[in-house]
Amino acid sequence: MSETTTTAPAKGTLPGPDGAPRCPWGLSTEDYLAYHDTEWGRPVHGDDALFERLCLEAFQSGLSWLTILRRRETFRAAFAGFEIAAVAEFTEADRTRLLADPGIIRNRAKVDATLANARLLADWPQGELDALIWSYAPEPAGRPAPRTVADVPAVTDASTALAKELKKRGVRFVGPTTAYALMQACGLVDDHLADCVARGTGTR
């Protein structure tokens, strides 16, 4: 989550409602607390699941992740559960519907990128998106646990390489920062702070 480096102060963990230490951003709202404790940093696999995360991270660009998180169910309803095959069949009428839907982010470039990406990925062999994304997961042993928010990067060499490869293959609206946010959210990296109760809860 890019917000761990932009909105939270450069400090370590803070006690949560149960007294256990957590990343500071995870304590700012109840929505974040649940997301931090049960989703962020836990491995996500499957082409459709990763397509959803890729799309939502793109929609988040320039906005707060909380805005996306609170609209996630509306996004899912609008985009057929982010099933690649279904979204690939969306028509111009669907595009018009999406651009008029107040429950999502009505950004023309982001909507168009989502539809184009679905059409592109529908032609990929099953499992290829999952394999491609996860091939950029660094070895956990080579990454020291961040002790403060200031230690959490917004971009890495791996996220830059992942974004470059996705773009090379025709995937739209993905840059190094969006790619790293995806890597954080989907468990390719564990950026929970060293003392955070959620650190190490995910397994590949």
Q: Is 180 a catalytic residue?
A: no
Distance (Å) of CA 103 to CA 12, 67, 84, 97, 98: 35, 11, 20, 11, 9
H/E element holding 22?
A: strand 21-22
Is 35 among the residues known to form the active site?
A: yes
For 45, 66, 78, 97, the CA distances from 136, given in Å and listed in that order, are: 14, 26, 30, 35
Is 196 within any annotated ligand binding site?
yes
136 is an active site residue = no
Q: Of 25, 32, 65, 136, which is the active-site residue?
A: 65
* Residue tagged active-site, from 25, 52, 57, 134: 57
The answer to whether residues 199 and 26 touch, using CB atoms and an 8 Å cutoff, is no
**Residue 36 known to bind ligand:** yes
Which candidate in 25, 32, 35, 136 is catalytic?
Answer: 35
* Residue 186 annotated as lining a ligand binding site: no
Q: How far is residue 174's CA from residue 42's CA, in Å, rounded to a whole number?
A: 21
Binding residues for Zn(2+): 23, 36, 192, 196
Active site residues: 35, 57, 65
